[in-house]
Structure formats: C-alpha cells, structure tokens
Structure 1
C-alpha cells in the first residue's frame, strides 16, 4: 500500500512507543477546547472516533473539539465539487456521538471545518450544501496553500500552486465566505506568510485562522537553519498581526515538518522537554497576537508522532504557567469558543 504524500510532513504515531512515558496531568480542571484535530480511516495510520475518544479522555478537561479538513470520508458518487460534503456529514456524526454522553462529556467536533476548492465555479453550491449538512456546526473551510520547491517538504504530487492565495479565481471564491458567514483556516509555510497578509488585507471582513503557527520549516532545504528560519517566521508574523481579522493556532510543532526530531528518540519526550523546545514559538505567537487572538490545538494525530495527547497539553500548560487566569482561559478555550461559535457555558 502506498503511503500518502501528506505523511512527508509528519511521522506515523506508535502507541507502543508513546506508552514508554507517562506523567500526571497538570491542572486537570482547566477547560480546554482542542481547536484543531482530524479523524480518518487511512494508512496514515488510522485515527477514528475510538482513538480520538481515548485521547481526549486521557486526563485533561477537554470540553469540546474542532474538526478540521483532512479529506476524510468524501462521497464516492455525485458531482466532484460536492463530494467533500461527505466529510461534514462524517464529522457531524461524530458530534452526535459526543452529544449522546455515552463517550464522556467532551463535545466532539462541536465545530466543523471542511474543504472546498474556492476556484471552482460552483464553490458556493458546495458551501451551502456543507452548511445544510453540518447541523449548525459547520463553520468554514480550509484550502491548503502550502508550497515549496523541495520534494522532501511536500511531494510534487501534493503541491498546490505557488501563488494560490493570489490567484483571481481563488479570490473570487474567497469572497463567498464573508457573504455566507464562514471563516477560512490557512495552512501554508513560513516563507509564504506575506501572501496571507495580502489576502487578509484584501478581505478584512473574513475571519482567517492561521494553522500550526505558520509552519516554520525545519527539514529539507531548511535543515540546520533554525535560527534564520525563526527570524524570518517571527518577522512575517509581526506583519500579519496587524491584520485584525487574523488569529493563530498554536500547535503543529510535533510534526516532522518542524524539524524538532522527537520522533527519532528511543523514548518519547516528557512535557518539560517539549516545553523547552516549543517555548520560543509559543511565546512569540502570544506576544504578537495576544491571548484574545491565539488558541491552542493538538493537531492530532499528526503531532501524535512526537508525543501523547496528555504530554502535549501538559507542555502547553507549563509554557503558560506564568500567565494570568484570564489569559489562560482565553488561550485554552475562550478564543476557540469565540472563533468557532462554541457555547462554552453549556459544556
């Protein structure tokens, strides 16, 4: 069986390896909305509701989660631009499982983000169909624009056009989001962030959420250049923060793409090790955007290649130990609740 090109950016998780380290949950009563995760039944490896339920039930108080586009459970019939509606139906089914109470108190997939190619002439039909299929949970789309010339970073078969966010047909479709009250999740690399600045300035009424801190790359042609990449990434984020319609998701640092290499160790890292490595990136995002425009994400299962769910959230809590209660409340739940329309008081 061939390995999907997407796995070039992250490592497959290994439950036996992750089981080599365990630790107590820090601040187990802190409410958390996991602002970004996936569910899929593919050889990436498999991560279906039972794996998600086990992870969110591992000790932290996960009150709700946000499902994000991963090309899962597309319809196998019908018009091509409507096949992704199947992903919304799938995620909405998981949400119904969560609301049943049979799998714990977490509101699984309380908000849903899927995929529409905004360049398609019938993109609006697809968006309207997703709104109808979402049962009140559909919030927006993600159209990945990550591009690099290095095949070790993204396979040529998976690459998007270098200038996707600048293309006129993409921007015509992007204009539909504000009209329909939808948001846009953006996944692109650190050297592309100025494209997102231009997009955000051109569409100031459309909420944009930057995924995975803007992906400062640490592999391929950027290997061994961490300090230079960090400076370029930070400077680009500093330009992006001036766009008030943009928020940032803090996570994704467990992916192979970021180059920390924890997945290669004999034993999985503890939360203190992750906090030490990730702190400069987390603190930069918070300093630039502020807690009201930043939210934590697990990015599971891609980040599960580096650490367990319990250890990941412990690391974020360690990094934010000096923050005020209001700041922690925003970063771990409040900002995600406001961004994705989740009523945190009802969970």
Structure 2
C-alpha cells in the first residue's frame, strides 16, 4: 500500500525539550508515560513495515514553547540530510496570541519545508478534556496574528472540539484564502450521547460548507482505545460524505495512536473501510489530497 502520511510526530528527548513528555500524564488519549522515549524518523519507517510511505508531514509535537522555531530547524535538518526529503512538509507550532507571533511566523516560513501552523485550540467544560483553558479564537490579538498566515503562505491545522466549530467556520469564512485542515476528524470526544453526536455531525457540516476547509481522517484511536474496523467505519464514512473524497485524507497520528495499534493495522483498517471506493477516490484519500493540500 502506498500512502502519504500527513500527520506524524517525531521527538528527540536527548536534544530537545517537550514539556508534556518531561512530565508525562495519563489522560483520555492514553498514558503519555508510554511515549517518553525518542521517536525518530527511523523509528517511524521501521513501524511502517509493509506500508510504502511516499511522503510525510510532521505536525508540531508540542515542542518547547519558549523556542518553537528550534523544532522546525531540527526537522528541516533531517529532511535535508538523512531523511532525503522527509518530512516533506512541516506544520510548525506557534502561539498566535503572543506578542512575538509575527517574528515566529516569519522564522518558521524561512525554512523550505514549512507549510503551515498548528496551535491547539481545544477547550471543554469538562476539565478531563480541556487542553488550553481559553478561547483563543475570541481574542483580538490572536485574530490579528492569524491574519498574517496569508502573508507567509501558511495553512492552519485546526484542532478543536465540536462546541467550537461554529466559531471556526466563521473564522474560515473570514479568511477564505487560507487553507484550514481539521485535525483528527473533529475530535468527537462526547460520543456517548445523541446530543454529542449531533454537535459533532452538525459542526463538521458547518466547517465543510467552507471550501477552504479539509479534514484529516486520523486520531480515532485516541477516543476508541479498543477500536475495530467496524467501530471506525461510521465516522470515516460520515466525514467522507460530508467533505467529499477531494477534501479528506487519511493520516496515522503516529506515534500517539501507536498506543492502541500498529502502523500497518491502522492503514489496513482505513483500506478496508473504503475498499469499495473507486481507484481514483482511494488515490485521493491516501495520496493525492495530502500532496495537494500541503503542497508537497
């Protein structure tokens, strides 16, 4: 199977600082203590086994917020050296609410493989699920700095919960010339109620109504630790139906999803779920969309 994987993380604990791995905790997405070890490009490619990984996009691994550009510098060095081009795209971390956000964006954009920015936005009333504790999209300075993404030719990886999707859709409409990529299928965490399902479904439909928004079919294992092909199938089908085959792409979320399945098992599950799609649709979902959206 050939894939372009548009959502992976690498880290080197010997040379870089990741606060969440320096003091790992157990949360709803799993036990971070099991991730407290180096995970390098060679480890990912070893995990890939029979999967032919054509290209990779690295998404910020919550690197030291005091020096987010160092992660991009390190990754570009890998791509220029032993990675032989991989990671082909870099989605860097930046705090758009910070006073120095314009300088950080400019520094990230100076590296050849930088394609976008991710800032985690997840806010939830239940503290078990709350990531950041503030509504960045409502902050004037954050929004001013968000507008700079166009200047630097950067996309935005949108990680949020269903309760935030209407606000995000408004942001996407206001910035119609910026590419948005919804991470992890919209992070449907409130999946034990009809209200939760409808909030996710309707929120994703609101985002999909914006032509500049796409979705990553990834991260499902964070919310379904005992996942099976059949447990993933309805969510994948709903998202593909909502966004269409040209605005959806499969991704591994490795090594985070490695806590609950092998790289090969996850990709083979995706292949089973869309086994009756046309060859053109499969090529879009597994390869072509990621290449086009991340310009790699």
TM-score, structure 1 as length reference: 0.75
Residue 313 of structure 1 is matched in structure 2 by 267
Give the distance between the partners of 1:109 and 1:39, measured in 2 at CA: 10
Instruction: Say whether 1:139 aligns with 2:91.
Output: no
Give the distance between the partners of 1:312 and 1:108, measured in 2 at CA: 21
Instruction: Say whether 1:45 aligns with 2:36.
Output: yes
Residue 92 of structure 1 is matched in structure 2 by 76
SS of residue in 2 equivalent to 1:126:
helix
Give the distance between the partners of 1:159 and 1:181, measured in 2 at CA: 26
SS of residue in 2 equivalent to 1:178:
helix
How far apart are residue 335 of structure 1 and its match? Answer: 0.6
2:107 to 129, 137, 148: 129
Residue 224 of structure 1 is matched in structure 2 by 192
What is the root-mean-square deviation of aligned Cα atoms in Å?
1.7
Instruction: Say whether 1:110 aligns with 2:88.
Output: yes
Give the distance between the partners of 2:286 and 2:177, measured in 1 at CA: 25
Instruction: Say whether 1:67 aligns with 2:67.
Output: no
1:239 to 190, 203, 206: 206
TM-score, structure 2 as length reference: 0.88
2:46 to 44, 51, 54: 54
How far apart are residue 98 of structure 1 and its match? Answer: 4.8
Contact 1:166/1:199, CA 8 A, preserved across alignment? no
How far apart are residue 95 of structure 1 and its match? Answer: 1.7
Contact 2:41/2:83, CA 8 A, preserved across alignment? no
Give the distance between the partners of 2:220 and 2:195, measured in 1 at CA: 17
SS of residue in 1 equivalent to 2:215:
strand
How far apart are residue 118 of structure 1 and its match? Answer: 1.2
Residue 17 of structure 2 is matched in structure 1 by none
Contact 2:191/2:197, CA 8 A, preserved across alignment? no
Residue 148 of structure 1 is matched in structure 2 by 124
Q: Which runs of 5+ in 1 are unaligned?
A: 1-27, 101-106, 263-272, 343-347
Residue 214 of structure 1 is matched in structure 2 by 186
Contact 2:109/2:152, CA 8 A, preserved across alignment? no
C-alpha distance after superposition, 1:165-211 (max 9, x if no partner)? 12211110010001111100011112211121111011111111100
Residue 221 of structure 2 is matched in structure 1 by 254
Residue 97 of structure 2 is matched in structure 1 by 119
SS of residue in 2 equivalent to 1:235:
helix
Instruction: Say whether 1:333 aligns with 2:296.
Output: no
Instruction: Say whether 1:174 aligns with 2:146.
Output: yes
Instruction: Say whether 1:288 aligns with 2:255.
Output: no
How far apart are residue 223 of structure 1 and its match? Answer: 6.6
How far apart are residue 159 of structure 1 and its match? Answer: 2.2
Contact 1:165/1:195, CA 8 A, preserved across alignment? yes
Residue 165 of structure 2 is matched in structure 1 by 193
Give the distance between the partners of 2:181 and 2:138, measured in 1 at CA: 17
Residue 5 of structure 2 is matched in structure 1 by 34
